[in-house]
Amino acid sequence: MDFPSLLRNPADWMTKSGPNGDIVVTSRVRLARNLKGMAFPGWSLKDDRSAVLQGLRSVIEGLPGMEDAFSRELKDLDAIRKQVLVERHLISREHAAKSVGSAAIMNPQQTLSIMINEEDHLRMQAILPGLQLHEALAAIDIVDSGVERSVKYAFDPKWGYLTACPTNLGTGMRASAMLHLPALVLSEQINQVVQAVNKIGLTVRGLYGEGTEALANLFQISNQSTLGESEREIIARLERVILQVIDHEKNARQKLAVEKPELLRDQIGRAYAILRHAHILGSKEALNLLSMLRLGIDLGFFPSEQRSLTDMLLMEIQPAHLQIEAKRKLSSEERDHLRAEILRRKLKNLPSPGISSGEEPGAGSN
């Protein structure tokens, strides 16, 4: 699969909806694995890294489900194309900085994505729409078992899978869900929720992982510890918490709809209006407006089939996507113009929220 095809075919999670899709955008599970007897990528010599890459690449490309995969050594992708993969959550920011000796492989649906020679020899991820952590684990487990039939993993009976960073030791698993929590933000309860989740040993992060800001009211909740519990136990615990956060968000939405209907209409009406009529839109503002549009869809202000459009736009208005669209490097100012233009064009046929004529929108999904 070539890059233009990858770009043309949005990832499954962008076009399909999953359980609790009004609040959970994606579920991800990634496994870190290393080959027995080989130095971790950060410590290994160039030739060893290349040998690991060649070996693993052919194993992964040969797995069932990886027919017509997008598979590239990172030296063969320019900075903007690598950044597109980051924006789609297919590779990490750290991996995008790598070149010779590292590779990225993903299936055409972009539900499976494998990084070779990131921090570990293998980082394998499954990403699915909605709340599907167990399903994502099952999907990546198949890849993991497939690889293990051909190679020997670095594994210790006491410590489990050995990883470059001790925080991944044991299961080597990081499971996470991306939650859209606009009502908890609007009603100023989000800090409380984040603190509570942190207290019980889970981590809350922004849109692009560690150290990133919570843009578009999107929050990633993931397990912190990888040791001492089975994968299934970790995910079950994570899912219980996520279901509670979903409940909090639903309650906050209902409460806002009852107590502050004008605030909701104002925020959603403005988002609709500005997205349709602005000519200069920074990334942060645009993401936050799309968040309000998504909330509007959930609350019945807009038809629900618009949700995937919103999720796709969240990707398409990001810097690297814009520059691919423009087929050249763009200044920040040029990006702000193109971003506004794309949003105006793609949202041209979005029906008015019907709130300016005083009509009552549907009661929403609660």
Binding site for its own copies (CB under 8 A): 262-263, 265-266, 269-270, 272-274, 276-280, 337, 340, 344, 348, 353, 355-357
Give the containing element (helix H, strand E) for 173: strand 173-180
CB 9 within 8 Å of CB 108 = yes
The CB-of-357 to its own copies minimum distance in angstroms stands at 8
Pairwise CA distance, residues 298 & 227, whole Å: 37
Pairwise CA distance, residues 123 & 290, whole Å: 31
Q: Enumerate long-range contacts of 347-353, CB under 8 Å, 24 or more apart.
A: 347/272, 347/275, 347/276, 347/293, 347/309, 347/313, 348/276, 350/272, 350/276, 350/293, 350/302, 350/306, 350/309, 351/302, 351/303, 352/272, 353/265, 353/268, 353/269, 353/272, 353/296, 353/301, 353/302
Rg (CA), the chain: 21
The CB-of-316 to its own copies minimum distance in angstroms stands at 18
**E strands, 5-159, in order:** 24-33, 70-73, 103-106, 112-116, 122-129, 155-156
CB nearer to its own copies: give 47 or 262: 262
CB nearer to its own copies: give 30 or 253: 253
Overall size of the chain counted in residues: 366
CB nearer to its own copies: give 87 or 285: 285
The CB-of-341 to its own copies minimum distance in angstroms stands at 8
The CB-of-127 to its own copies minimum distance in angstroms stands at 34
CB nearer to its own copies: give 328 or 345: 345
**Residue 338 half-sphere exposure toward CB, CA atoms < 13 A:** 20
CB nearer to its own copies: give 164 or 278: 278
Q: Which two tokens stand for residue 103?
A: 């590779």
Query: Considering only CA atoms, which of 76, 73, 162, 81 is closest in space to residue 119?
Result: 162
CB nearer to its own copies: give 32 or 185: 185
The CB-of-335 to its own copies minimum distance in angstroms stands at 12
CB nearer to its own copies: give 102 or 291: 291
CB nearer to its own copies: give 13 or 272: 272
The CB-of-7 to its own copies minimum distance in angstroms stands at 24
